[in-house]
Amino acid sequence: MASQGTKRKRDSESSDSSIESPLTTVSLETLSTSDEASMIRDIISKINQMDKVNRKATIGIFGKSGEGKSSLLNAVLGKADLLPSGCFGACTAVVTRVEANLEDSKYIAEIELFSKEEWEKELKDLFTVLSDEDETHELFDNAVEKITALFGDDAEKKTLEELKKVDKFAEIETFLSFSKKISKSDVSEFTSEIASYIQHSESSPGDWYWPLVKSVTIKIPGCHELLKHVAFVDIPGTGDCSKIRDDKWKSTLRECSVVWIVSDINQAITNEDSWGILKQCTTELGPGGECKRINFICTKTDDINPPAYIRSARLTRDQLTGDKDQDKTVCILHRNEHAKKRVKGKFEQSHIKKIFNTDNDFQVFTVSSKAFFDTKSNLEPNETEIPNLQDDLRNLNEDITRELTRDNVNKAKGVLYLIQSVQPDTDKETVKMKDQFKESLMKALNELDSRFDNIYSVLEQCLSKGVEKAVKLCVASTKAMIVPNNGRGFHQTLRTLCRNGGRYFPKSRKKLLDLNKALAENLHECLEEDFKQIFPVSGQTGKSVQEEIDKFSVIQSDSADFRSSTLNHIQKFIKTEETKLKALLNREVVEMKKDIYSSIQKTIENEMASCYEKAVAITGPGSMKKRQELIITTVDEKKQDMFNKAKNEVLKKFNNLKLYIKNELESGLKKSMKLSLSQSSKIIDGRLQRD
Ligand SMILES: Nc1nc2c(ncn2[C@@H]2O[C@H](COP(=O)(O)OP(=O)(O)OP(=O)(O)O)[C@@H](O)[C@H]2O)c(=O)[nH]1
Ligand SMILES: [Mg+2]
């Protein structure tokens, strides 16, 4: 629960009493306890901070290389050349985050580089791959690409020792020790400067830095309406075998609340890559993440051969005009309609829909980024559908603004009720209120406890089934992954898999090999259905943790229970504080559930770690076979213990979640009650007199 602790700490840190405003002139010395003082400061500071609070939804853009992801993002943001596109071969080399610069009118890039140690390890790995005879393996190509991008042509033919002597080597070492930030007023200057950090290009080898980059964040000015509450992540179409890059990729997926799948319209149905990439990520996005919506975006709609299309779609004369240009538009729009129907149909049938649980939140767009910028195009701007996507973005921003406004109104209401609650006028009623409060708090907490225990039992049952299944099937699934029928070139793959702690990330993400994920699969599968009900990414299921939190209340009715209007104000204050607390907890639950879900695979990873290390150390003739045997024997020996540990870890984390929620509700509400019943009048009186 450490992460939640930190989060909370940050909240109270932000309520620094040094923030000056008319409200902070309240004399805080009049308070008797530090608790109360800190709570008042907290409330005042939160009111002052209302405008500054920002919440962002992350939109992940997925798709094969060359499908038009970066061009699409440029079009949606109305900045034709912001992100590099249209290179020969793969173009975007690193995960690129794009968000608004809300501070000034500069274009800013914050570049996260490898640490010196990480780079040394990566370089050593690259040279191990290069020393291998097998030049046909994609790992070999990947290593050559990186070394030549940084050190120039033929650098890969040098040994690591030789390379260490060239000037560029020392230059790179120094380069890595500084954090990198680019800030420019002019967009084209900015674009050319960032290119060497995010763009993959075969021209001018030796001038590129992308192999050293973990990720890039770009902040652009003047896009408040589209980006105030949204951050885009342009995810490169090709993978990278580096573990560091892949970990970044995975953690980005868990953040996405919206996904855009991008596919060239001509292959939208048959394109197994776009669907395949998505399939690979469903665990991280769905149960392990927070994805609520998917937009499938067919790109390059302007790219059409009208005579061929008329023939294949059997368009009749009635549908055509006889004018060449107009008929091109007819064909484009006809194909758009057709693609929308087909893609929707495919999604309805797919396993992806089941995992995401998105009944209404799947939309198909058919866009042309090129025509959007081309004033002479056959397509009207709205026929390029880029404006539709912009509207979609505006709606998402407005939804978040509304959510923040609701939170802010609640915060303001809390303070108003507190101000109205002057010293209780009859002691008897105060005592009655205190007693009632204590009693209903205990009752509500007990009820919550038992409802959480029911959820715990559901989880326990699913996981026990999963353990049983995993124990039965794990050896076979291990063999299926690490002893392929065609073993040619596999020893490189297996060695990399062991070096990366059980994972191998090929360039095409479709064929990802992740032994830990495969071992966790049966547990995930048995858990999936109930987990979705317990932690839905949106909506109500009747069984969710979020709904249990919502049901919790210490104030049973909205009606006035007390003769004194003061006590009724206090009651309203507590209710408002309770609503705020529950909204915050519901947001924290999303992070906790990601942690719970991913703990299955993490436990397996940890259990298998020493086996992978031993396997990497095996050298000499027959090493591949020895590695395979070692892994299979380890899985077989550890299976019972390993899967039970994974199960217990989930249950332990769920129990911690329960304790955390109960504790936050109890301490938060007691604090509010204490504050409203004790010194509030003094503070308010003091402030009113001063004003
Ligand atoms: N005709 C046409 N071409 C487009 C359109 N959008 C992109 N392209 C072209 O498609 C190619 C690839 O576009 P990118 O935006 O670089 O593709 P990407 O998906 O970002 O590729 P990676 O960065 O390699 O993952 C470029 O040559 C673009 O000019 C479009 O709407 N119409
Ligand atoms: Mg790109």
* 263 Cβ inside 6 Å of ligand 1: no
Q: Among 547, 581, 545, 347, which residue's Cα sits nearest to residue 453?
A: 545
38 pLDDT higher than 70: no
* 300 Cβ inside 6 Å of ligand 1: yes
Residue with tokens 């109205």: 420
* 64 Cβ inside 6 Å of ligand 1: no
Task: Report the pLDDT value the prediction gives residue 562, as an integer from 0 to 100.
Answer: 56
The enclosing H or E element of 180 equals: strand 180-184
Q: Is-contact 342 268, C-beta < 8 A? A: yes
Distance 251 CA to ligand 1 centre (A): 26
Q: Is-contact 515 478, C-beta < 8 A? A: yes
Of the listed ranges 352-366, 505-519, 569-583, 677-691, the least confidently predicted one is 677-691
- The residue whose CA is least distant from atom 14 of ligand 1 is 68
Task: Report the pLDDT value the prediction gives residue 357, as an integer from 0 to 100.
Answer: 61
Mean residue pLDDT across the chain: 82
Q: Is-contact 126 244, C-beta < 8 A? A: no
The angle subtended at Cα 159 by Cα 114 and Cα 94, nearest 5°, is 25
Distance 199 CA to ligand 2 centre (A): 8
Mutate to test the pocket of ligand 1, among 71, 302, 335 (most ligand atoms within 8 A of CB): 71
Angle (deg, nearest 10), helices 386-420 and 565-617:
130
23 pLDDT higher than 60: no
Ligand nearest to the CA of 261: 1
pLDDT classification of 418: cutoffs 50, 70, 90: low
Atom of ligand 1 nearest to the CA of 369: 31
Q: What are the C-alpha distances in Å from 585 to residues 12, 549, 662, 671? A: 15, 8, 10, 16
* 368 Cβ inside 6 Å of ligand 1: yes
* 66 Cβ inside 6 Å of ligand 1: yes
Residue with tokens 């915050």: 584
pTM higher than 0.95 = no
- Rounded Cα distance between 318 and 340, Å, is 23
Per-residue buried b or exposed e for 97-106, using 16+ beta carbons within 10 Å of the residue's own CB: bbbbbeeeee
Q: What are the C-alpha distances in Å from 136 to residues 130, 133, 155, 486, 589? A: 11, 9, 18, 15, 47
Q: Taking the mean position of all CA atoms in its chain, how far away is CA 564?
A: 49
Digit-coded pLDDT (tens) for 120-145: 888 888 888 888 766 667 778 888 88
Amino acid at 333: L
431 pLDDT higher than 60: yes
Distance 268 CA to ligand 2 centre (A): 18
- Rounded Cα distance between 264 and 287, Å, is 28
pLDDT classification of 39: cutoffs 50, 70, 90: low
Task: Report the pLDDT value the prediction gives residue 108, as an integer from 0 to 100.
Answer: 96
Per-residue buried b or exposed e for 19-33, using 16+ beta carbons within 10 Å of the residue's own CB: eeeebeebebeebee
Average pLDDT (558-568) is: 59
The enclosing H or E element of 536 equals: none
* 370 Cβ inside 6 Å of ligand 1: yes
- Rounded Cα distance between 474 and 467, Å, is 10
- The residue whose CA is least distant from atom 10 of ligand 1 is 68
- The residue whose CA is least distant from atom 11 of ligand 1 is 86
689 pLDDT higher than 50: no
Atom of ligand 1 nearest to the CA of 90: 24
Q: SS3 for 255-285, per residue?
A: HEEEEEEEEEHHHCCCCHHHHHHHHHHHHHH
- Rounded Cα distance between 314 and 302, Å, is 19
Residue 169 structure tokens? 């080597």
* 70 Cβ inside 6 Å of ligand 1: yes
- Rounded Cα distance between 119 and 210, Å, is 12
Q: Among 300, 237, 221, 303, which residue's Cα sits nearest to residue 273?
A: 237
Question: What letter would DSSP give residue 37?
Answer: H
Q: Among 525, 513, 508, which residue's Cα sits nearest to residue 481?
A: 513
Atom of ligand 1 nearest to the CA of 93: 23
Strand partners, 95: 215
Task: Report the pLDDT value the prediction gives residue 332, as an integer from 0 to 100.
Answer: 96
- The residue whose CA is least distant from atom 12 of ligand 1 is 66
Distance 401 CA to ligand 2 centre (A): 30
Task: Report the pLDDT value the prediction gives residue 271, as an integer from 0 to 100.
Answer: 66
Would you tell me how many other CB atoms lie within 10 Å of the CB of residue 649?
Answer: 18
Ligand nearest to the CA of 74: 1
Digit-coded pLDDT (tens) for 461-491: 999 999 999 999 999 999 999 998 876 778 8
* 91 Cβ inside 6 Å of ligand 1: yes
Terminus-to-terminus CA distance in the chain, angstroms? 43
pLDDT classification of 437: cutoffs 50, 70, 90: confident
- The share of the chain scoring above pLDDT 70, in percent, equals 80
- The share of the chain scoring above pLDDT 90, in percent, equals 40
50 pLDDT higher than 90: no
Task: Report the pLDDT value the prediction gives residue 414, as an integer from 0 to 100.
Answer: 67
- Rounded Cα distance between 214 and 243, Å, is 11
Digit-coded pLDDT (tens) for 325-346: 899 999 999 999 999 999 888 8
Digit-coded pLDDT (tens) for 601-658: 999 999 999 999 999 999 888 899 999 999 999 999 999 999 999 999 999 999 999 9
